Structure 1
Amino acid sequence: MQNGQILEVKAGEGYLVEITPGLLSDAPKLAGRLSARLGLTDPAVRAVIVTDSNVGPLYAENVQAALEAARPGASAGVIAIPAGEQSKTPAELVRVLEAMAGLRLTRKDAVIALGGGVVGDLAGLAAALYMRGIRCLQMPTSLLAMVDSSVGGKTAVDLEAGKNLMGVFSQPVGVLIDPEVLRTLPAREISCGWGEIIKYAGLDPDVLAAVRQELGSGEDGSGLAPLPSVDLIARSIDVKRRIVSEDEKESGARRLLNLGHTAGHAVETASCYALSHGASVAIGMHILTKALVQEGKLPRAMLEDLEALLLKAGLPASLPPELLARPDLDFSTDKLLAIARHDKKSAGSGVNLVLPVAPGRAEVKKVSWEDFRAMLETGLR
């Protein structure tokens, strides 16, 4: 078993990201962590677990038992949402808020977000809104949520116009990660998380070197990505931790974390979420890199390197033929551009794009809609 790691995020009131292999199966240790992060020695404090229909049956009972071990009466119960992106809606958010009110939670109480990115985003937003804000502890169970969405305080649900358009910045009181739970995930979810790890590789040369080393053991074309090491999970979080600590609310450096996301969100939305978020980010990164190579602004070796990493991670570099063949889906440039215009990174006459400039380096640049259209057309060919 690999050793755990602790990282500090200097955003909001500051909090720790604790990576502890085996935490969810170690009741005394989990009880101690929950008590420390939520102040469960106070008899007035309770915590409700928000989870989904996949994760809840696996781990909610363990977390409830740990809450009760920390202090009898500390558990306020479990609220479960249907698994999947389709639950990340205003209607489901209101249902969770009504359930929290039905449990008579007070401002001293807390939410435990137990699940993947959808649960973390929705539960975090519910906590931020309930009684104008109660505490939220993130306990991510997917690779994507561990390395990305559980850290940084972005909470949101989707609107029909696009992803994450209804949300607030609200930092958690802590993040507890048990990487052992990754062994229960299907291959698609592991690959999805690799999409965000490869994004960090585009922002940090050290992460790029580590990704190349760990994916080097992958079987080309197998579609099965290896589990990342605790060290690589921590390295990925560290990139985000450093950027978020510098720019909590995305007015500057934090925009770098959107590498691959503008085009990625567009194809994800156009696919009606048949594409995972990680796969969509992978396609988004490939679109931009390919367009810049065609324009002579990047060496072809960068595109080839990205394609090799995506292949070993079981991620697509382009839109899958089976989705392109579906008559109910529209991946035309006009459709993707229309979706992108509703993206949070839209800036009136153009969009703030994160563009790769060298291996392990990217920059934010304002790009006109005409130029972005051209990049989409070139990158999708």
Structure 2
Amino acid sequence: MQNGQILEVTAGEGYLVELSPGLISDAPGLAGRLSALLGLTDPSVRAVIVTDSNVGPLYAGKVEAALEATRPGASAGVITIPAGEESKTPLELVRVLEAMASLRLTRKDAVIALGGGVVGDLAGLAAALYMRGIRCLQMPTSLLAMVDSSVGGKTAVDLEAGKNLMGVFSQPVGVLIDPEVLRTLPAREISCGWGEIIKYAGLDGDVLAAVRTELGPCRSGIAPLPSVGLIARSIDVKRRIVSEDEKESGARRLLNLGHTAGHAVETASRYALSHGASVAIGMHILTKALVKEGKLPRAMLEDLEELLRQAGLPSSIPPELLARADLDFSIDALLAVASHDKKSAGSGVNLVLPIAPGRAEVRKVSWEDFRAMLETGL
């Protein structure tokens, strides 16, 4: 791994995103960062670790030991949720809040979100709600969480109607990233993270060039681990946009490239599709539709398809899911999900549309036009 990097996010009170390879295994180094970020030299301050059933056995013990190394009693314990999107519910959120209350956490205490995107979203929301808000430190362990969900302060759980419909903007006090933990992830999770990295490639020419370089040698369709430099480049795109538009009233909408159609597909699959795979399909739907309408060159679609193939991501809904009688991927079903999406705007929807390699823009599209794009792009 390469040397670490530090990026500053100026949203909220401002915080740092620190990429430090090997940090979780460096007990003294981790203890020092936790103490500094959470103020653990104060004997009345504690931190609780929120993690999941996959990540907890691997890393929760190391983080808890680092907390205790700063000061005996600094750890308030570990709260573990079942791994998977199915845990990102109001019911599980309340269970975590009740566990936090049973530990007698106070407003001076903090939450450490140790895990992937589900843990980061749920633990971040729990921290924002508990006693009207306590601090949260994000420690993402999945590629998707590192490059995307841990940065920017979006916290949420899902409702039956759709993803992330119950949440608040609440910036963390910091983000600590140890890229070495990616080595324990299965190939599916690495590909999932590449879905968001390729999204950033659709927004930034430098990221696009870096993605082409790192995926270029990949012929097997099994995605490689991205370099620390590419992880940092991806975060930097989000950092710049979030610092300009914290609560998604303007430029931050660009970060939803591929997400409107992608969230609809993801929800319709009942989360059989990963988030990254769903975003990949969403980007492909829009690009394919625009190419068929003559608004984009075919080379852009071919380039996207090649990057998705190299990253081990689908460009369309897999046949085995389309064949399932319990899943409905009809246009009407996808539109019904999309109508509940946060990007819905009454008579239409705010779509992020690619306009050139490494460039996209937000346009309000009528529901009739969005239907036509789904029909053309699927």
Q: Distance in 1 between matches of 2:28 and 2:237?
A: 31
SS in 1 for 2:214: helix
SS in 1 for 2:123: helix
SS in 1 for 2:17: strand
Alpha-carbon displacement from aligned partner over 1:21-74 (angstroms, at most 9, x marks no partner): 000100000000100110111111000000000000000000000000011110
Q: Which residue of 2 aligns with 1:114?
A: 114
SS in 2 for 1:196: helix
Under a length normalisation based on structure 2, what TM-score does the superposition of the two structures give? 1.00
Alpha-carbon displacement from aligned partner over 1:1-35 (angstroms, at most 9, x marks no partner): 31000000000000000000000100000000100
Q: Distance in 2 between matches of 1:168 and 1:143?
A: 23
SS in 1 for 2:137: strand
Once the two structures are TM-superposed, the CA of residue 128 in structure 1 deviates from its matched residue by 0.1
Q: Which residue of 1 aligns with 2:287?
A: 289
Q: Which residue of 1 aligns with 2:332?
A: 334
SS in 2 for 1:12: coil
Once the two structures are TM-superposed, the CA of residue 214 in structure 1 deviates from its matched residue by 0.2
Q: Distance in 1 between matches of 2:347 and 2:49?
A: 43
Q: Distance in 1 between matches of 2:77 and 2:222?
A: 37
Once the two structures are TM-superposed, the CA of residue 304 in structure 1 deviates from its matched residue by 0.2
SS in 2 for 1:226: coil
Once the two structures are TM-superposed, the CA of residue 142 in structure 1 deviates from its matched residue by 0.1
Q: Distance in 2 between matches of 1:309 and 1:360?
A: 13
Root mean square deviation, CA, Å:
0.4
Q: Distance in 1 between matches of 2:262 and 2:19?
A: 28
Q: Distance in 1 between matches of 2:203 and 2:372?
A: 24
Once the two structures are TM-superposed, the CA of residue 231 in structure 1 deviates from its matched residue by 0.2
Kindly report which structure 2 residues correspond to 1:24-39, keeping only aligned pairs within 5 A, or say none.
24-39=24-39
Alpha-carbon displacement from aligned partner over 1:147-178 (angstroms, at most 9, x marks no partner): 00000000000000000000000000000000
Once the two structures are TM-superposed, the CA of residue 330 in structure 1 deviates from its matched residue by 0.4
Alpha-carbon displacement from aligned partner over 1:71-112 (angstroms, at most 9, x marks no partner): 111000000000000000000000000000000000000000
Task: Confirm or deny that 1:325 pairs with 2:337.
Answer: no
Q: Distance in 1 between matches of 2:189 and 2:177?
A: 16
SS in 2 for 1:63: helix
Kindly report which structure 2 residues correspond to 1:1-381, keeping only aligned pairs within 5 A, or say none.
1-219=1-219, 222-380=220-378
Q: Distance in 2 between matches of 1:212 and 1:319?
A: 24
Once the two structures are TM-superposed, the CA of residue 132 in structure 1 deviates from its matched residue by 0.1
Once the two structures are TM-superposed, the CA of residue 223 in structure 1 deviates from its matched residue by 3.2
Q: Distance in 1 between matches of 2:87 and 2:27?
A: 30
Once the two structures are TM-superposed, the CA of residue 357 in structure 1 deviates from its matched residue by 0.2
Q: Gapped runs of 5+ residues in structure 2?
A: none
Q: Distance in 2 between matches of 1:217 and 1:191?
A: 15
Once the two structures are TM-superposed, the CA of residue 263 in structure 1 deviates from its matched residue by 0.1
Q: Distance in 1 between matches of 2:71 and 2:190?
A: 35
Q: Distance in 1 between matches of 2:303 and 2:36?
A: 44
Once the two structures are TM-superposed, the CA of residue 217 in structure 1 deviates from its matched residue by 1.6
Alpha-carbon displacement from aligned partner over 1:252-275 (angstroms, at most 9, x marks no partner): 000000000000000000000000
Once the two structures are TM-superposed, the CA of residue 310 in structure 1 deviates from its matched residue by 0.1
Q: Distance in 2 between matches of 1:218 and 1:335?
A: 36
Q: Distance in 1 between matches of 2:217 and 2:36?
A: 39
Q: Distance in 2 between matches of 1:289 and 1:338?
A: 22
Once the two structures are TM-superposed, the CA of residue 308 in structure 1 deviates from its matched residue by 0.2
Q: Distance in 1 between matches of 2:373 and 2:320?
A: 23
SS in 1 for 2:138: strand
Q: Distance in 2 between matches of 1:109 and 1:11?
A: 22
SS in 1 for 2:315: coil
Q: Distance in 2 between matches of 1:145 and 1:330?
A: 28
Matched residue pairs, number?
A: 378
Q: Percent identity?
A: 90
Once the two structures are TM-superposed, the CA of residue 228 in structure 1 deviates from its matched residue by 0.1
Q: Distance in 2 between matches of 1:330 and 1:37?
A: 46
Alpha-carbon displacement from aligned partner over 1:222-257 (angstroms, at most 9, x marks no partner): 331000000000000000000000000000000000
Once the two structures are TM-superposed, the CA of residue 201 in structure 1 deviates from its matched residue by 0.1
Q: Distance in 2 between matches of 1:307 and 1:242?
A: 27
